[in-house]
Amino acid sequence: MYDFDQIIERRHTDSFKWGIDDTVLPMWVADMDFAAPPEIIDAFSRRLNHPVFGYGRLPQEWGLAYQSWWKRRHSLEIETENLFFCAGIVPAISSLIRALSHPGDSIAMLTPVYNHFYDCIRNQNRKVCEIPLLFSGESYSIDKERLEKTLSSVRCPLMILCNPQNPTGTIWSADDLKTIGELCSRFGTIVLSDEIHCDLITPGQQYTPFAAASDTCRTISITCLAPTKTFNLAGLQTAALYVPNQDLQKKARSAIQKDELSMPNSFAAAAAIAAFTKGEGWLDELNIYLYENKCIVRDFLQKELPCVRMIWGDATYLLWLDCRLLNRDSRFLSHYLRREAGVYLMAGSEYGRGGEGFLRLNAACPKSLLSEGLTRFQNGIGSLIHS
Ligand SMILES: Cc1ncc(COP(=O)(O)O)c(C=O)c1O
């Protein structure tokens, strides 16, 4: 049994998430307020016993750890020779955009989607090509007609896919992924499938790796994998790219090397190996805890604040709140709640088209903090309505 109720003081620890006003409860940046698994911390301790921190290299166990995890948990056969290290997914995506497209090209994305993808694209002088998801009021689906129309009419050498989707928490079905693969293949679009959230899933549910959806998907994709979101190790910059297509792999490896992202820091390999060989028990308990937290937020809103609705997603601890009945700009809402109620949520408009009128709440914290956050949220919305 692991203790996810334990409060760990993170203020004044150089945490990005907690480095805000002392009176504000942060429910914004996507890291968790839980200790990393003791099995991983033990591996760090063992590494610390050796007092030299020179340049490292990856032991064979590194690839084998990824391989056995994806086979066991996600039924994907990864050949270790097609997997290589990169120092973080966001820098890898920026690097791959530079290598696999030209300035002025468009990069397709299903939106609302992770905000840093927008920066990655714009910082390389490429154009964001948004294909908004269809929203039924309850759930999200892919607008396949629009995707086809867009890919057929705009030069999109790349599509960045978030599988599962941050911020809506949607797990894409194998059929959805197959369709994306077929359309992208037809129009010569490479898919960068970012699967960093894939292990944070409602117990009993399954995600499909993009590369497992069909042979076409496997051939046209670069899959981004990491233990960092799952095991709360975001500060360690340890990730991997899986590229079965040999031509594409050559280009991707060269990009990562050229941009100096291929060398692991002294803890990068130990973290991934310990996570994927010893972290299973911790993760299964974590997913139960996160599921309970999700239910707490949904039930609280239904009972206490029915003007805000949580859109249920089976992946991630990032909860997508529909605040459109409040008729307020989502940036205003985020600022107002931070300033007046002392709770900080991300504005939905940060995630592009389809995000306006929503807020994103990070529920990966001990239940006592979650409860405090919800009370502040309720008070803030209450005072806004009555102002
Ligand atoms: C979809 C997605 N990709 C990537 C990242 C960050 O990856 P990294 O820390 O490896 O750059 C995040 C962090 O929130 C994310 O949500």
Choice from 94, 110, 114 to test ligand 1 binding pocket (greatest atom count within 8 A of CB): 114
CA dihedral 16, 22, 25, 30 (to 10 degrees): 0
Q: Do residues 124 and 134 lie in contact, with contact meaning Cβ atoms separated by under 8 Å?
A: no
3-state SS class at 196: coil
Distance 116 CA to ligand 1 centre (A): 8
Choice from 29, 32, 90 to test ligand 1 binding pocket (greatest atom count within 8 A of CB): 90
Nearest-CA residue for atom 14 of ligand 1? 30
- DSSP class of residue 5 equals S
Distance 196 CA to ligand 1 centre (A): 6
Distance 89 CA to ligand 1 centre (A): 6
Identify the helix (H) or strand (E) that includes residue 376.
helix 367-385
Sign of the CA dihedral 188, 189, 195, 196?
positive
Nearest-CA residue for atom 7 of ligand 1? 89
Given this model, what pLDDT does residue 387 score?
A: 83
Residues in the chain: 387
Q: Give residue ranges with CB within 6 A of ligand 1.
A: 30, 88-90, 114, 162, 166, 194, 196, 226, 228, 234, 239
Closest atom, ligand 1, to C-alpha of 91: 11
Closest atom, ligand 1, to C-alpha of 318: 16
Beta bridge partners of 131: 110
Given this model, what pLDDT does residue 383 score?
A: 96
Residue 380: what are its φ and ψ, rounded to 5°?
Answer: -65, -45
Question: Could you tell me which CATH number the domain at 52-277 has?
Answer: 3.40.640.10
Q: Do residues 157 and 98 lie in contact, with contact meaning Cβ atoms separated by under 8 Å?
A: no
pLDDT 10s per residue in the chain (387 long)? 999 999 999 999 999 999 999 999 999 999 999 999 999 999 999 999 999 999 999 999 999 999 999 999 999 999 999 999 999 999 999 999 999 999 999 999 999 999 999 999 999 999 999 999 999 999 999 999 999 999 999 999 999 999 999 999 999 999 999 999 999 999 999 999 999 999 999 999 999 999 999 999 999 999 999 999 999 999 999 999 999 999 999 999 999 999 999 999 999 999 999 999 999 999 999 999 999 999 999 999 999 999 999 999 999 999 999 999 999 999 999 999 999 999 999 999 999 999 999 999 999 999 999 999 999 999 999 999 988
Those residues with Cβ within 8 angstroms of residue 385's Cβ, 6 or more apart along the chain or in another chain: 307, 326
Distance 325 CA to ligand 1 centre (A): 30
Closest atom, ligand 1, to C-alpha of 90: 11
Distance 383 CA to ligand 1 centre (A): 34
Q: Determine if the pTM surpasses 0.75.
A: yes
On whether the 25-38+280-385 domain is CATH 3.50.50.60, my answer is no
Cis ω on the peptide bond leading into residue 167 (within 30° of 0)?
yes
Q: Please list the alpha-helical segments (H only) found in 115-197.
A: 115-123, 144-153, 174-186
Distance 302 CA to ligand 1 centre (A): 30
Closest atom, ligand 1, to C-alpha of 239: 10
Distance 88 CA to ligand 1 centre (A): 8
Distance 384 CA to ligand 1 centre (A): 32
Closest atom, ligand 1, to C-alpha of 237: 10
Domain ranges of the chain: 25-38+280-385, 52-277
Given this model, what pLDDT does residue 298 score?
A: 98
- DSSP class of residue 326 equals G
Q: Which of 117, 123, 211 is nearest to 162 (CA)?
A: 117
Cα–Cα distance list, 339 to 30, 237, 333, 356 (Å): 21, 32, 10, 20
Given this model, what pLDDT does residue 228 score?
A: 98
Residue that the structure tokens 């405090």 belong to: 372
Distance 333 CA to ligand 1 centre (A): 24
Residue that the structure tokens 């409040």 belong to: 326
Helix axes 246-258, 89-100, angle to 10 degrees: 110
Given this model, what pLDDT does residue 144 score?
A: 98
Structure tokens at 272: 């991934």
Given this model, what pLDDT does residue 35 score?
A: 98
d(CA 158, CA 84): 20
Distance 90 CA to ligand 1 centre (A): 6
Choice from 210, 229, 238 to test ligand 1 binding pocket (greatest atom count within 8 A of CB): 229
d(CA 308, CA 39): 39
d(CA 363, CA 4): 12
- DSSP class of residue 235 equals G
d(CA 55, CA 53): 7
